[in-house]
Chain A
Amino acid sequence: MIDGAVSGGLRLKALTKRFGSFTAAESVNLDIRRGEFLTLLGPSGSGKTTLLMMIAGFLDITEGDILLDGMSIAGMPPEKRNFGMVFQGYALFPHMSVRQNIAYPLDVRKRPKAEIEARVDEMLDLVQLQDFGHRLPGQLSGGQQQRVALARALCFAPPVLLLDEPLGALDKKLRVEVQDQLKDIHRRVGTTFIYVTHDQEEALSMSDRIVIMQKGRIEQVGTPEELYQKPRTRFAASFLGKSNFLTKDGALYALRPEKIDIAPKGAGQGPNRVSGTVRAMTYFGSVLKYDVTVPGMDEIEVDADAWRGGAPLAAGAEVDLSWSDAAAVRLERD
């Protein structure tokens, strides 16, 4: 660890934000553990950014409270909270060099020059931009700018780092690379990361815990595996990964496409079995995706392993679908 992060546990108590008659966040209760990588995941308008801006201090709280290590920080201006923040689009200071950008938080705290220089060097090392200190932000690529924003936000060793869709502007390949770097930096600095995204893959691959949000409320909280394997609501099951929904004995079940076996008609085995017709097959390289029409049910999506699943079945083929009892997860509500 570069700096002992001495604190960083946050508690949101019945946090509510209303804009006129519109409720952007409704009575959100959440404990954020010291040092964890927590992701707020949801579609646009789900309240995740509102929540982040209230934590940062840029939005007033309508009701409720925010506690940092047990002390209320509601009503405290952003500059007093000492939280680092990485903005969408990075928001680097265009008139300052990379070094000046990173030194800024220490500069405004009037720290001694030698200390600032040493710390900036350390941060440039952390984000691997040693040779770029004297460039202006406009002379860097998107990925490099993103790393400068991260170094600047971590420079003053904040207990909490807030990240607002920091990878949104990067292309897909670069994004995966930066995800790994981000995860690595989190491990090394030990700061609490609160990460906002609408990208479910990002959330799954990086987080210690994910908070799925919808319409200003928390839908479900858990580790990526808990949320993927045991979604409690239809929204959670469909927003994080893909899912088929079945009704059986009046209850709603979620069934992941890759947990269904597909076989030519008559060859299916297992306790749960239906027959149908392949409407379409799409080839994704490692995965074959089948859309299967089953009489009396919604269309069922099946992901088959392209290597082990045998020869591809063409559209129009009659097939058997089967799955184990454990594969279908009973949902608590719609």
Chain B
Amino acid sequence: MNGSPLRRIGTGWLLVLPFLALVVALFLGPIVNILWLSVTDPEPGLGNYAALVTSDNLVGILWTTIRICVITTAFSVIFGYSIAYAMVHVAQGSRNQMLSLLLVSFWISVLVRTFSWLMLLGRKGLVNETLVNIGIIAEPIEFMRNELGVLIGMVHYMIPYAVLPLLAVMQNIDGRVLSASRSLGATGQQTFWRVYLPLTRPGLVAASLLVFILSLGFYVTPAILGGGKVLMVAEYISVQILVTLRWGTAAMLAALMLFGVLALLFLMSRFMKLSTIFGGAKA
């Protein structure tokens, strides 16, 4: 029975081969193509990557992107944490209602949600009109066409993504551990900082990663709420492809984002098991 395990593996591979081929052709192929473009267009070499150091314009865009993503992540996770915490601690009925509301927001297109903010926060929007009319402010506040607008729109869109991983972790916390902390003399606050928060850390990391990575690729919200004044990487890439036709630069930026995300995941995996973050079995 020497060759039988080998043969079994062979049969297994044969079964998944069509799908494997599909994945390679439709997923890995384009990625390789982009990597190839980034070092060959317009001429072979690392010229596209060199622009990262030489072009102030590019550095500025990357810096804006990272800054907006970090701030978005921070606020989304803080708000998401509060919402998830509330959801875990209300009665079952209210929790289901809150969960449906949360899921409804997933079904509304990002375009619709962004335009809603435009109507609410524009110079002649509901918020500014109201504030001016009741005399709290004399001039409309500039919510739009700046980073503030982009941040408001992105945080609003990202909160549900932050809530779900946090909710999953919080629901698994054994209430007796918290009671034990109280019985040992810790106040509610001490219990939160020393026990609850550390126990929700996997959820915090998962939510942060998810929100940060999704934010990196944000296109519609910065384009509309930033009004062309806040340029993030995704929008810049689309301009390179559709308008200026510098595909090499676009491919370089896409590759950069891909490697950035992979590096981030690698860094996190050194501190904790990724499987626990993404809801796998506990180690």
A78 & B190 in contact (Cβ 8 Å cutoff)? no
Q: Which residues from A are CB-within-8-Å of B181? A: 93, 104
**Which of B177, B183, B201 is close to A78, meaning CB atoms less than 8 Å apart?**
B183
B194 & A87 in contact (Cβ 8 Å cutoff)? no
- Closest Cβ of chain B to A116, distance in Å, is 13
- Closest Cβ of chain B to A284, distance in Å, is 37
Interface status of B176 (Cβ within 8 A of chain A): yes
Interface status of A42 (Cβ within 8 A of chain B): no
Q: Which residues from B are CB-within-8-Å of A89? A: 174, 176
Contacts of A62-119 to chain B: CB distance below 8 A: 77-79, 82-85, 87-89, 91-95, 104-105, 107-109
Interface status of B54 (Cβ within 8 A of chain A): no
| From B184, B195, B201, residue with most partner A Cβ within 10 Å | B184
B190 & A91 in contact (Cβ 8 Å cutoff)? no
B176 & A84 in contact (Cβ 8 Å cutoff)? no
CA distance A105 to B194 in the complex (A): 12
B199 & A108 in contact (Cβ 8 Å cutoff)? no
CA distance A325 to B138 in the complex (A): 101
B179 & A58 in contact (Cβ 8 Å cutoff)? yes
Q: Which residues from B are CB-within-8-Å of A83? A: 183
Q: Which residues from A are CB-within-8-Å of B12? A: none
B185 & A77 in contact (Cβ 8 Å cutoff)? no
Supposing A93-B195, A94-B199, A95-B198 touch, asked if A108 and B176 sit within 8 A by C-beta, the answer is: no
* Chain B: CB-nearest residue to A88: B176
| From B177, B180, B181, residue with most partner A Cβ within 10 Å | B180
* Chain B: CB-nearest residue to A153: B184
Interface secondary structure of A, over-half rule: loop
Interface status of B33 (Cβ within 8 A of chain A): no
Interface secondary structure of B, over-half rule: helix
Please, what's the 1-or-0 string for A24-56, where 1 marks a CB less than 8 Å from any CB in chain B? 000000000000000000000000000000001
Q: Which residues from A are CB-within-8-Å of B177? A: 91-94
CA distance A162 to B174 in the complex (A): 19
Interface status of B110 (Cβ within 8 A of chain A): no
In this complex, how many residues of chain B approach chain A with their Cβ under 8 Å: the count is 18
Supposing A93-B195, A94-B199, A95-B198 touch, asked if A77 and B174 sit within 8 A by C-beta, the answer is: no
Q: Which residues from B are CB-within-8-Å of A56? A: 183
Interface status of B182 (Cβ within 8 A of chain A): yes
Interface status of A147 (Cβ within 8 A of chain B): no
Interface status of A156 (Cβ within 8 A of chain B): yes
Q: Which residues from A are CB-within-8-Å of B102? A: none
Interface status of B186 (Cβ within 8 A of chain A): yes
Interface size class of A (residues with CB under 8 A): 20 to 34
A79 & B182 in contact (Cβ 8 Å cutoff)? yes
**Which of A77, A109, A162 is close to B182, meaning CB atoms less than 8 Å apart?**
A77
Interface status of A232 (Cβ within 8 A of chain B): no
- Closest Cβ of chain A to B196, distance in Å, is 11
Interface status of A152 (Cβ within 8 A of chain B): yes
Contacts of B195-219 to chain A: CB distance below 8 A: 195, 198-199, 201
* Chain B: CB-nearest residue to A80: B185
- Closest Cβ of chain A to B133, distance in Å, is 48
**Which of A58, A84, A94 is close to B184, meaning CB atoms less than 8 Å apart?**
A84
CA distance A111 to B117 in the complex (A): 52
Interface status of B92 (Cβ within 8 A of chain A): no
CA distance A152 to B195 in the complex (A): 15
A105 & B198 in contact (Cβ 8 Å cutoff)? no
- Closest Cβ of chain A to B204, distance in Å, is 13
CA distance A78 to B199 in the complex (A): 21
CA distance A160 to B195 in the complex (A): 24
Interface status of B187 (Cβ within 8 A of chain A): yes
* Chain A: CB-nearest residue to B184: A105
Q: Which residues from A are CB-within-8-Å of B199? A: 94-95
B198 & A79 in contact (Cβ 8 Å cutoff)? no
Supposing A93-B195, A94-B199, A95-B198 touch, asked if A156 and B184 sit within 8 A by C-beta, the answer is: yes
- Closest Cβ of chain B to A137, distance in Å, is 10
Q: Which residues from A are CB-within-8-Å of B186? A: 79, 104-105, 108
CA distance A89 to B176 in the complex (A): 9
- Closest Cβ of chain A to B181, distance in Å, is 7
- Closest Cβ of chain B to A208, distance in Å, is 23
A79 & B183 in contact (Cβ 8 Å cutoff)? yes
| From A85, A91, A152, residue with most partner B Cβ within 10 Å | A91
Q: Which residues from B are CB-within-8-Å of A105? A: 184-186
Enumerate 5 A-B pairs (CB-CB under 8 Å) in ascending A order: A79-B182, A84-B184, A85-B179, A85-B180, A93-B195
Q: Which 7 A-B pairs have the closest CB atoms?
A: A91-B180, A91-B176, A85-B183, A105-B184, A108-B186, A78-B182, A91-B177
Chain B residues within CB distance 8 Å of chain A: 174, 176-177, 179-187, 190, 194-195, 198-199, 201
Taking A56-B183, A58-B182, A104-B186 as known contacts, 6 extra A-B pairs with beta carbons closer than 8 A to each other, sorted by chain A number, are A79-B185, A79-B186, A84-B183, A87-B176, A89-B176, A104-B194
